[in-house]
Chains A and B, each alone.
Chain A
Amino acid sequence: MLRYALKRLLSLAISLAVASVVIFVAIEVVPGDPASYMLGINARPDTVAALREELGLNMSPPERYIAWVGGLLQGDFGTSYTYRTPVAEMISERLWVSLPLALFALALSTLIAFPAGIIAATRRGSKWDLGIMGVTQLGIAVPNFWFAMLMVLVFAINLRWFSAGGFPGWEAGLLPGLKALLLPAVSLALPQASILARVMRSALLDTLDEDFIRTARAKGLTRRQVLRRHALRNALIPVLTIIGLQFSFLLAGAIIIENVFFLPGLGRLVFQSISARDLIVVESVVMLLVFAVVVVNFAVDLAYAAVDPRLRRRR
C-alpha cells in the first residue's frame, strides 16, 4: 500500500512538472510578446519596456521558467499587473470562497445521489426507480445557471429568505457565509447529483448481478446486509471516479454560477484576468487549478486502493 502511494506520488510530481512546462510555453512563449499583449496596441514603447523589465522578459525562456517555478514553490506567484497586488493574496482570498463552495456542492451532490442511486437500484423497475431516473434526466438536461436564476427568483426575490448574490466574507461568521453559499451550492450540486445518482444506480445494479452477491445470500445475509456489506463497496469504484472529476470541475468550472450569484471565486478571477489580459494571474491560477486536479486524482487513486485490494499490487 505504501509502495503504491509512493508510486502515485511520483506520478503526481511528474504530472505537475509536465503541466507547468505546458502552461509556461502556452502563455509566455507562444503568443509573441506578453508585455505588449497585456498593454494593448496603443501602449507607449517605454511603458512596454518597463513592463518587460518587471516581468523579467529580458531573461531567456529557461531562466524565466526556473524563476517562475522557483517563485511558485516558495509561494511567490508574482504581482498582478492590473491590481498591483500579489497574486498569492488574490488567489487565497478567492480560494476561501471557491473551495468551500466546491466542497459544499460536492457534499450536497453526494448526499442526494447516494440514497437516490441506491433506492433506484434496489427497487429496479419500481415507481421509485422510474421517478428517480426521470428527475435525474431532467437534472442533467437543464443547465445549472437556469436553476440558479430560478432559485434566485423564488428564494431571494419572492420569499426573501436569501440575498440574491454576493458574499459577506467569513469575518461575518460561519452561518452567514454558508447561507450565502447555499443557493450557489445547490444549483451546482443538482446536475452533478443527477449524474452521480445514475452512475451509482448502474454500478450497483452491475454489482448486485455478481455471483458473490448470490454467495452472500446463500450464507444467510438479508438483502439489506448484502447491500451494506458486499455490494456498496464494490460499486464505489466507478462512483469515486466521477466524484473526483466532479470536484475538479466544481473548483474551477463554477464561473457561470459565480457570475449569477456575484461571488468572488476563482472562476471569476480567471474570467476577469483573461478580460484584463493579466497573464501573470492567469498563469498562476491555471497552475493552481492543475495542481488541484492532480491532487484530487491522487486522492481518488488512494481511495481506489483503499476500496479495492487488487489495485494495491498493480502498477
Chain B
Amino acid sequence: MSLLAIDRLSLAIHGAPILRDVSFSVDQGQIVGVIGESGSGKSMTACAVMGLLPAGAQTGGRVLFEGRDLLSTSEAEMCALRGAGIGMVFQEPMTALNPVQTIGAQVAETVLIHRAGTRAQAMARAREVLERVGLPADRFPLSRYPHELSGGQRQRVVIAMAIALRPRLLIADEPTTALDVTTQAQILRLLKRLVAEDGMGLMLITHDLGVVADMADEMVIMKDGEVVERGAGQGFFGRMKHPYTRALFEASSHVPRRAAQAEDRALLEVKGVSRDYAPARTSLLAPARRFRAVDGVSFTIRRGESLGLVGESGCGKSTLARAILGLEEVQEGEILLDGAPVFSGHHVNLAVRRRMQVVFQDPYGSFNPRWKVARLVAEPFHLLGARPPDWREQVAEMLENVGLAAADMEKYIHEFSGGQRQRIAIARALILRPELVILDEAVSALDVSIRAQILDLLADLSGRFGLTYLFISHDLSVVRAITDRVLVMRAGRIVERGRTQEVFENPQHDYTKTLIAAAPKLPQVAAE
C-alpha cells in the first residue's frame, strides 16, 4: 500500500473545474516531483491532500493516506493529521512565519498543538529540530524572531516546523522558488537528507524541471488540472513521450537564435562607479553609517552586444541598474552613454535618458491599472516633451512588433496574462526607439514556456531594432542563453567577467564556481 495514493481526484471551485482525474502515489522514502506551470493545478492538489481547499470547493475521487480517504475525513481529524502525519512547506519563506512570535515558539507549537509533550519538552524538541535543519543553537537561539533571519534560514525554520513530529509525508510547494541558487541548492540537499534519514515520503511541487531532475524518484507532469505524464525519475527525460513534457523540457533550456552582432564601438561606459547608502539612523547621536552597495564597478557594453549581469539578491545589481538609468546619483565614477554623461550636475540628462529604457520583473506592478494600454505604452513620450501627432499609430505598430494586436490598445492591463503584460512592458520600453534596453529580471517571474517565447522575442527585436541589452538576472540558464559576455557581481564588486560561454565552461573565481555548481541543471538528452 502506498503512503499516499491520489486516485482520480477531481476538484471544482464554485463550479469551475480545477482538477480532472489526477492520480499518482507517493511511497515511503520516495521523492515525487510534481511539475507544472502556473494554473496547472499542482498547488491545488497539495491543498486537497491537506484538506485546506478554499471555500466553495467540491471534490471527487479519493485521496488515500495510509489507506484512509482524506476527502471524507472530518475537519477535527484533519487537524490532528496536519503537522503530525503530514507536514507542509510553502513557497514564501519571507511571509510564512508569524512575525510576532519567536522561531522557538513557532516550532514548539507543532508539538504542543498535537499534545505530544509538555512545554519544556516541546522547546527541547524545537531546539533539536532546528539543529537538524542546520540552525545551530549558538547562532540561532530559540528566542530569535523571523525578521532577524534571511530567506533561506526562514525556510529552514518552516521545514523544522513541518518535520518536528516526524510526519510520514512531507509536501513541499515550490520550497526554493523565492531563494537564491546557492541557498536553493542547500535547501534541496536538506530535504533530500531528511527524506533519507526519516524515510518519509516527499511530494516536491515545482515549476522548474531542473530542481527535481536529479532528485525525484518519480515525476508527475501536470497541465491544466490533469496529469499528462508520469514516470520513474531516473532517465525520465530520455523516455518522455507527451508533447507537453517535451515542450516544457525544451523551453527550460531554450536558447533563442540571435542574429545581432556587436560592433566595435562602445555604447555604454561605466567607469569606477560606487553607490553609497546611508542606512536608517538608529540614534541621533551616533555617527552616520555608510553602506556601499556598488563598489568601484567598471565595464563597457558595445553597440549591439548583449551583456549579462548575474549575482544573488543584495549583490548590488539592481542598484547598478538604477544608477545607469539615472534614477540615483552615484558617489564616485561616471556613466557615459555614447560618450555623453547620464548625469549632468545633479540632474539626469534627459537627452541621454531617452536613449535607454528598462523592463522590470513584475509586469503587473509596473503598470497603472487604471490606464488603457495605449496610454501605458505611450508614457515614455513625455521624455520628448510632447507626444508626436501620430503616437497612436506608433503604439499600434509597436504592439504588433511585440506580438500583440493593435486592437489591444483599448484594453486595461488586468485583461492580459503575465507573458502578454511583459510584452506590453517591452513595447513601452521600445516606443522611443532606445539604443540600450536594461532587462532587470525581466523574465524571472514567467513560466518556462512563456519565458522561452519572450527570450525569442527579445532576440528578434535586438536584430530588427539594433538594440543593445544589459541583461540582469539571478537565473544563470537565462543569462547563458541570451548574452555574449557576462559579469558576475558579488557584494557590490565585479568578481569575474568574460565571454559567456567561457565563464560558464571554465569559471575562474570561486564564487562563480559555486554559483554554477548550485544552479539546477537538466540532463543532456538527445532531442529525438
Contact = CB atoms under 8 A, between A and B. Distances in A.
Given A220-B82, A309-B145, A310-B145, A215 B97 contact: yes
A217 B100 contact: no
A229 interface: yes
Number of contact residues on A: which range applies?
20 to 34
A218 B52 contact: yes
Contacts of A219: 82-83, 109-110, 113, 161-162
B114 A310 contact: no
Contacts of A230: 98, 101
A212 B97 contact: yes
B79 interface: yes
Contacts of A222: 75-76, 79
B90 A214 contact: yes
B282 interface: yes
B87 to A, nearest CB: 7
B438 to A, nearest CB: 31
Contacts of B110: 219-220
Contact of A211 (B50, B83, B90, B161): B90
A308 B100 contact: yes
Nearest to A218: B88
Contacts of A218: 50, 52, 82-83, 87-88, 90, 162
A315 interface: yes
B79 A215 contact: no
Interface string B133-155: 00000000000010100000000
B522 interface: no
A214 B52 contact: yes
A233 B110 CA distance: 19
A210 B96 CA distance: 8
Contacts of B109: 216, 219, 221, 229
B185 interface: no
Contacts of A214: 52, 90, 96
B113 A212 contact: no
Given A220-B80, A221-B113, A215 B96 contact: yes
Nearest to A315: B282
A225 interface: yes
Contacts of B158: 215
A220 B83 contact: yes
B72 interface: no
Nearest to A222: B79
A212 B96 contact: yes
Contact of A217 (B80, B82, B84, B92): B82
Given A220-B83, A229-B109, A308 B99 contact: yes
B83 to A, nearest CB: 3
Interface in A210-244: 210-212, 214-222, 225, 229-230, 233-234
Contacts of A314: 280
Given A218-B87, A221-B113, A211 B95 contact: yes
A307 interface: yes
B113 A225 contact: yes
Contacts of B52: 214, 217-218
Interface in A178-221: 210-212, 214-221
Interface string B9-51: 0000000000000000000000000000000000000000010
A310 B83 CA distance: 27
Nearest to B109: A219
Contacts of A215: 90, 96-98, 158, 161
Task: Give the residue among B75, B82, B100, B114 with the most A Cβ atoms within 10 A.
Answer: B100
A309 B145 CA distance: 7
Interface string B274-300: 000000101000000000000000000
A310 B144 CA distance: 11
A221 B82 CA distance: 8
A220 B96 contact: no
Nearest to A207: B98
Contacts of B262: none
B81 A220 contact: yes
A220 B113 contact: yes
Interface of A: 210-212, 214-222, 225, 229-230, 233-234, 307-310, 314-315
Given A215-B161, A221-B79, A310-B147, 17 more contacts: A211-B96, A212-B98, A215-B98, A216-B98, A216-B109, A218-B162, A219-B83, A219-B162, A220-B79, A220-B83, A220-B110, A222-B79, A225-B113, A234-B100, A307-B100, A309-B102, A310-B145
The 7 closest A-B pairs by CB, nearest first: A220-B83, A219-B83, A218-B88, A211-B95, A220-B82, A212-B98, A309-B145
15 contacts: A211-B92, A211-B95, A212-B95, A214-B90, A215-B90, A215-B158, A218-B87, A219-B110, A220-B80, A309-B99, A309-B102, A309-B145, A309-B147, A310-B99, A310-B100
Interface of B: 50, 52, 75-76, 79-84, 87-88, 90, 92, 95-102, 109-110, 113-114, 145, 147, 158, 161-162, 280, 282
